[in-house]
Structure 1
Amino acid sequence: MSLLKEKILQSAIRSFAEKGYQATSIQDIADDCSIAKGSIYKYYGSKEGLYIRILEKRQQDMIDAVEQIRKKGLSRRDTFLEEIAYQFDFFIEHGYYISRDHNELPPANSDKIGTVIHQLQLNMFRYYQDILLRHYGGSIAEWKWDATAVFNGLIREYTFHVLFGFKPLIQKELAVFIAERMDDLVLGLEQRAPRPLLTDELMKEYSMVDLEALIHTQEIRRTALMDTIESIIPDMSITNSRKKDLSEVSAMLREEFTAERPRSFLIQALLKDLSSENELTFYTNQLQQLLRESN
């Protein structure tokens, strides 16, 4: 992401937190950045688009951090504990869930924002379920939705006490406590084998992909990844000729992504070229993951 785009985002985050979404204008953000209002519209389209980009960036930041935890080569238990502890680090830095640090939420009738927030909430719930399934495996298969609801509730409740009750709780101790309580829950489920309350039928909304929401979310993530790639290329330790080639490849890829009939063979060839540079590999892998999700 370019320095200017990052500056705009940070200014918007501060302004939304201090004044609220409704009371903040694009002009306020432009004045804070000492730029023309048109520059913000050029990059983000609208205040609504800017707010959505903040939400998407925050969840992407979480996804990136979690990927790094999983690559550490820790034991299954230590990975479980680190992922739980990271939730509190994230919420302490960014606020309760993803948008709760703003003192006023956007208008409820904003379909785009509502759709994105709803998708982010579904993503978080699925992510929590993934944590549990990776750690407990088949032990919770029958009660995966109920176990996830309890896990989600524990993290949210203790986050509330840390952020708003100002309770001096230590993240690592919280992680161990929650992990042990989940151990107790799983053991109890195995011993008593109760009938699941949250069945697959009841949780269809979480099981089934909302294609419209998913496509919209993917477009935002893809744009952010392309922005990042294009901002990295000028600072890479390679020849100017190679920088020019990569910039042209990136521009072609962006154009192909937005084409009415994208050519998959060309997209793969362009991604392969970009991924040959180590500094870009992580971001091209993320783009590959988006392609797999859309198929």
Structure 2
Amino acid sequence: MSVLKEKILQSAIRLFAEKGYQATSIQDIADDCSIAKGSLYKHFGSKEELYISILEKRQQDMIDAVDRIRKMQLPKRETYLEEIACQFDFYVEHGYYISRDHNELPPVNNDKIENVLSRMRRSMFLYYQDILTRQYGQAIEQWKWDATAMLSGLIREYTFHLLFGYMPIDKKELALFLAERMDDLVEGLRKRSGPPLLTDELMTEYAQIDLKGLYASREGRREALIHKISSIIPDIAVPNQRKQELAEVTAMLQEESAQEQPRRFLQLALLRDLQSESELSFYANQLFPLI
């Protein structure tokens, strides 16, 4: 993502949160970025497209945060708790849509935006099911949809209390409380063995979502950023010997990142070298969360 495009997104996030979607115009955003409106339209075709880009960026940020937790290679139970706590940290910081204070609700009567929001909600629901499946395995297979609905409901309800009730609840303690309640739920389901309410037939629309595709997009972003750095190196204002060194560093980073078990310490060292050059730092900084 270019520096200007990122600047436009951040300006739109702030103005949508302060003034609301309807009251914010493309001209307002362009003025805030000190650019012509036509320059903004080169990156985003409409205010609707800009809003959707913000929503998608939010979801990608969440995916990146979860991926960083998984790469920590913690014990299964600790990973479970960290991922639940991550949901509260993320929503308290960002809100459900754009404004952390929830002043900015999604535009009404807009089919394109509502379709995006609906897809994101389904994706998050599938992600919660993935959390539970990794923790409880076959113990919840029969009731996986019902258990997911309950976890989703708990996270949503407690998030609202944190956001709007301003309740000083520790996120780690809350994650532990919810995890223990899900333990109780799973144990109860196993003891009673009643039939599920939400069946595969009823949840067909959700089952069709490719959750792995969300994480695959992350790999594509990493490869695109490395390729961008590689294409910039020949034109930066450094001696030719340094350009050769940077090209070799970039090639090593690409090769290491493609390994089944990349050495993170080496990736970080290579990235820091790229980050030291001002013309490359913007793209190198975007790579840090992706390794």
Query: Shorter-chain TM-score: what band?
Result: 0.7 to 0.9
Match of 1:25 in 2: 25
Aligned positions of 1:224-243 closer than 5 A:
228=225, 232-233=229-230, 234=232, 239=243
Cα distance in 2 for partners of 1:127, 1:169 equals: 24
Question: Are 2:26 and 2:37, in contact at CA under 8 Å, matched by a contact in 1?
Answer: yes
Q: Which blocks of at least 5 consecutive residues in structure 1 are unaligned?
A: 247-271, 287-295
Q: Structure 1 length normalisation: TM-score?
A: 0.75
Q: 1:26 to 1:222 in 2, by over 3 A?
A: farther
Per-residue CA deviations over 1:54-109 (Å, capped at 9, x if unaligned) read 101111011011011001110000000000001111001101x2346452434333
Q: Identity of counterpart residues, as a percentage?
A: 61
Match of 1:162 in 2: 162
Is residue 211 of structure 2 the alignment partner of residue 207 of structure 1?
no
In structure 2, the residue corresponding to 1:239 is in which secondary structure?
Answer: helix
Question: Are 1:2 and 1:231, in contact at CA under 8 Å, matched by a contact in 2?
Answer: no
In structure 2, the residue corresponding to 1:44 is in which secondary structure?
Answer: coil
Higher relative contact order (CA 8 A, sep 6+): 1
Q: How many residues align?
A: 252
Q: 1:141 to 1:6 in 2, by over 3 A?
A: same
Is residue 254 of structure 2 the alignment partner of residue 275 of structure 1?
yes
Letter aligned with residue 125 of structure 2: F
Question: Are 1:56 and 1:221, in contact at CA under 8 Å, matched by a contact in 2?
Answer: no
Match of 2:70 in 1: 70
For residue 224 of structure 1, report the CA deviation from its aligned partner: 6.7
For residue 180 of structure 1, report the CA deviation from its aligned partner: 0.2
Match of 2:197 in 1: 197
In structure 1, the residue corresponding to 2:199 is in which secondary structure?
Answer: coil
In structure 2, the residue corresponding to 1:43 is in which secondary structure?
Answer: coil
Q: 1:202 to 1:185 in 2, by over 3 A?
A: same
Match of 1:125 in 2: 125
Cα distance in 1 for partners of 2:110, 2:12 equals: 18
Per-residue CA deviations over 1:127-170 (Å, capped at 9, x if unaligned) read 00000000100000000000000000111111000100111100
Match of 1:11 in 2: 11
Is residue 55 of structure 2 the alignment partner of residue 52 of structure 1?
no
Letter aligned with residue 177 of structure 1: F
Q: 1:106 to 1:78 in 2, by over 3 A?
A: closer
Question: Are 1:143 and 1:196, in contact at CA under 8 Å, matched by a contact in 2?
Answer: yes
Q: 1:44 to 1:274 in 2, by over 3 A?
A: farther
Cα distance in 2 for partners of 1:111, 1:273 equals: 45
Letter aligned with residue 53 of structure 1: S
Match of 1:141 in 2: 141
Greater shift, 86-95 or 30-39, is seen at 30-39
Per-residue CA deviations over 1:241-279 (Å, capped at 9, x if unaligned) read 976xx9xxxxxxxxxxxxxxxxxxxxxxxxx99933755
Cα distance in 2 for partners of 1:47, 1:226 equals: 29
Q: Structure 2 length normalisation: TM-score?
A: 0.76
For residue 205 of structure 1, report the CA deviation from its aligned partner: 1.4
Cα distance in 1 for partners of 2:46, 2:244 equals: 35
Match of 2:267 in 1: none
Match of 1:98 in 2: 97
Q: 1:32 to 1:92 in 2, by over 3 A?
A: same
